[in-house]
Amino acid sequence: MRFLDLAATSAAVSATSARRAKVELLAAALRGLAPDEIPAGSAYLAGELRQRQTGVGYAGLRDLPPPAEHPSLTVADVDAAIDGIAAVSGPGSQNRRRELIGRLFGAATADEQRMLVGLFGGELRQGAQAGLLADAVARAAQVPLPAVRRALLLAGDLKAVATAALTGGAAALGEISLRVGRPLAPMLAASAPSVDQAIEATGTPAVVDVKLDGIRIQVHRSGGEIAVFTRSLDDITARVPEVVAAVRALPARELVLDGEAIALDATGRPRPFQETASRAATRGARRSPTAGLSAEVAAEQSATEPVRSFGASPAAPPPPTDPPTPAQLPVPVRPEPAAPAVRAAAGSTGSTVLTPYFFDLLHLDGTDLLDAPGRQRWAALADTVAAPQLVGRVTVDSVLAAADAFAAALDAGQEGVVVKSPDAPYEAGRRGGGWIKVKPRHTLDLVVLAVEWGSGRRQGWLSNLHLGARDPATGGFVMLGKTFKGLTDDLLRWQTERFLELAVERGDWVVRVRPEQVVEIAFDGVQTSSRYPGGMALRFARVVRYRADKTAAEADTIDLVRAIHAGRVGG
C-alpha cells in the first residue's frame, strides 16, 4: 500500500466526527495492507510507530528537507526506514540518524511528511483510539467484535491482533490466549468515594485488599525463567532482581502473578512513591519477546521451546525456605520489610529495595485461571505464595468491617483499599464492577499539556503545570487548570529535565510539550469556570505523584470530570 493512501485515511478520519464513518475508513485501509504491512500499518492508523524507541526527538525533526513532488513510498518502505533509524547507535549516531531522517522525509510528499512528523512526535490526533481500531479490525476481517476485543486484552498488542484477524480470521484470534511470558492487560478497579458505596457495588461477603502505594507488576515464570512487566506491559526484569529472586523461591513450575512492588522503610511503612517509581522507570525498557508476534508465530515458538526464555536477569537462588501453606490473613496491616533473599538480590543495584506483594494468580502449572471466580484464584494464590508476600486481605460481611480495614490501611500509610467481589472473574484490561478502589481524597490522573517557567525561588525551573483530561470523542485533551502545588525541589529538577525532553514549542514563558506524561492530581472539587475550554476547573489542585506506569491513553476522561462536577461520582 502507498504510504500516501494511509496518510489520506488518517486525514479523513481526523476530519470525520461520526464513529461509524471512522470505522469504515479505517477498515478499508486495513483491508488494503499487504500481510507484511499489517503490523506497521495498523500502528500508523492508531497514531503510533511500530518501533517504540527511535531516538528521534523534537530537535531531530527540525530543518527537514523540502517534500517530494510525487509519492513513491509504500508502508513497507516507511517501516524499513524507521527500523534503520531506530537501530542507529554508537559514535556518530546523531549524524547518521539525521542523514536517515533526511532521506526518509526527502522521499515523502507534503501530506506524508505531516503524518510522519505526527508519528515521530506522538501528536497524530486523529481520533482513532484502540476501541475504534478494534471495531475496524473486526469489520475488515469480518470476524465477531467480541473475539477481537478478547484477543486484544490477552495479547496487549493491537498489531498482533490485527495481523491474526486479517490473515487467519476468527480461528487465529481464538489461538490468542494467555501465554506465559507474554504480558496481558491487567484488570483495573473502578472508583467509589466511600467504602459503603463500594460494598453496595460488590455486595457481601466481599474481600478488602490493601491498596499499596507502589507500582503494578505482572510476573511470569516458566521453569527457571522469570519476567517482570509493568502496568503498561514494559519489561523491567533487569531493573528488579529482588522481584525475580522472590518469585524464583516459589514452588510452582509455571505461573503468572499480579501484584505490586513497593519501597519500604525499616518499619515496613512505604517510602515516597518517587523512590519506587525511579527503580522501575520504563524509559529504555523493552517489550516481551512474543508481544509483537502473531498468534501463529507465538504458538509455533511455544511449541518448539519447552522452557521459554524471557530475558530475566540472572539472580542467585535464595536459601531454601519452608513451603508456603494456605492462610487467612488478618485485617490489613503494614507489609513486612523485605526478606533477606530479596534484600540480597537488590544489593546488586545499589538502590532502594523493592518488595513484591501479590494479590492475584492468573495461571498455575498449565491451568488458566482468568475465567475462574476470585475465591478460586485467591485460594490457589494462598497455596502458592507465602503469607508475607501477599497483599493484606480480609473477608468482610458488613460495611463496618470494611471501614475498619480501610482505616487500618490508611494508618499503615497506604493509599486505601480495593473492595472485590469473590465471584468476579479476572477481566483483563477492563475496569469493571468486580473491583472497586476507595481512596481518602479526590484524585485524577491527568496529562501535562504545557509547563510555565518559575519565578523567584523557582527561577530556571519548569514549575506551573497545565493539566488536561482525555477527551474520548476527539482523541485530544481538555485543559482543566494549572498547579505548582506539591512540588518538591527534587520534583522540580526532575520535571524540568523531563518536559524539556518532551518540548514541542519553547517560549519565554510557556513550554508546550507532547501530551505523554501522566500526573496524579489531588483536588478539593470541580467548579464551573469560563476560563478553560471545558467550562470547569479543579479547586486547589496539587501534585500527588507522577505516574510512570500510565500512558496518556489511560488518563482520566473529561466525562469523569463532568460526572464529579455534577456530583454523580467521587474523584
Q: Read off the CATH number of the domain in which 110 is found.
A: 1.10.3260.10
- Residue 443: what pLDDT? 87
Is the bond preceding residue 144 a cis peptide, omega within 30 degrees?
no
For cell 525463567, the residue is 225
CA distance 498 to 495: 5
Q: Same domain, yes or no, for 142 and 155? A: yes
- Residue 296: what pLDDT? 29
Please give the full DSSP string across 223-264, using - where no structure is assigned: TTEEEEEETT--B-GGG-HHHHHHHHTSS-SEEEEEEEEEEB
Q: Same domain, yes or no, for 404 and 307? A: yes
Half-sphere exposure of 306 (CA within 13 A, CB side): 1
> Is residue 182 situated within a structural domain?
no
Flag residues of the chain having pLDDT under 50.
283-285, 287-334, 337-349, 570-571
Half-sphere exposure of 449 (CA within 13 A, CB side): 15
Conformation bin of residue 349: beta by default, left when phi > 0, alpha when psi is -120 to 50: alpha
Q: Same domain, yes or no, for 334 and 464? A: no
Alpha helices (H) along 414-529: 489-501
Cα angle for residues 446, 452, 454 (degrees, 5° grid): 120
Write out pLDDT tens, residues 437-446. 998 767 899 9
Q: With beta carbons less than 8 A apart as the criterion, state whether 296 and 164 touch.
A: yes
CATH number of the domain to which 198 belongs: 3.30.470.30
Residue 58's identity, in one-letter code, is: Y
Q: Same domain, yes or no, for 288 and 410? A: yes
Question: What is the domain count for the chain?
Answer: 3
> What grid cell was written down for 161?
491482533
CATH number of the domain to which 461 belongs: 2.40.50.140
The residues pairing with 217 across neighbouring beta strands, listed in sequence order, are: 230, 259
Phi and psi at 267, nearest 5°, equal: -95, -5
Final residue of a domain: which of 174, 204, 226?
174
For cell 485501509, the residue is 29
> Is residue 183 situated within a structural domain?
no
> Is residue 570 situated within a structural domain?
no
Q: Same domain, yes or no, for 148 and 43? A: yes
Q: With beta carbons less than 8 A apart as the criterion, state whether 176 and 161 touch.
A: yes
Q: With beta carbons less than 8 A apart as the criterion, state whether 523 and 539 touch.
A: yes
Question: What is the dihedral angle through the alpha carbons of 183, 185, 187, 190, rounded to the nearest 10 degrees?
Answer: 150
- Residue 210: what pLDDT? 94
> Is residue 514 situated within a structural domain?
yes
The residues pairing with 452 across neighbouring beta strands, listed in sequence order, are: 464, 510
> Is residue 29 situated within a structural domain?
yes
Q: Same domain, yes or no, for 227 and 366? A: yes
pTM, two decimals, is 0.60
CA distance 322 to 522: 44
The Cβ of residue 15 has, within 10 Å, a number of other Cβ atoms equal to 12
Q: Same domain, yes or no, for 119 and 131? A: yes
Conformation bin of residue 257: beta by default, left when phi > 0, alpha when psi is -120 to 50: beta
CA distance 561 to 535: 11
Those residues with Cβ within 8 angstroms of residue 333's Cβ, 6 or more apart along the chain or in another chain: 392, 408, 412
Q: Catalogue the E-assigned strands of 92-212.
A: 188-192, 206-211
Active site residues: 211
Q: Same domain, yes or no, for 311 and 369? A: yes
Pairing state between β 254-263 and 215-222: antiparallel
Question: Could you tell me the residue range of the domain that residue 70 belongs to?
Answer: 3-174
CA distance 540 to 51: 40
> What grid cell was written down for 105?
522525509
Q: Same domain, yes or no, for 170 and 237? A: no
CA distances from 124 to 11, 47, 326, 388 (A): 10, 5, 51, 46
Final residue of a domain: which of 404, 438, 472?
438
CA distance 396 to 474: 42
> Is residue 399 situated within a structural domain?
yes
Q: Same domain, yes or no, for 409 and 453? A: no
Contacts 24+ apart (CB under 8 A), 106-111: 106/65, 106/66, 106/68, 107/68, 107/72, 107/73, 107/77, 108/3, 108/67, 108/68, 108/73, 109/4, 109/67, 109/68, 109/69, 109/70, 109/71, 110/67, 111/4, 111/7, 111/8, 111/11
> Is residue 473 situated within a structural domain?
yes
Q: With beta carbons less than 8 A apart as the criterion, state whether 456 and 214 touch.
A: no
Final residue of a domain: which of 438, 470, 487?
438
Alpha helices (H) along 175-218: 195-202
> What grid cell was written down for 178?
494467555
Q: Same domain, yes or no, for 106 and 222? A: no
Q: Same domain, yes or no, for 135 and 233? A: no
- Residue 142: what pLDDT? 96
- Residue 468: what pLDDT? 96
- Residue 527: what pLDDT? 84
Residue 407's identity, in one-letter code, is: A
> Is residue 179 situated within a structural domain?
no
Half-sphere exposure of 357 (CA within 13 A, CB side): 25
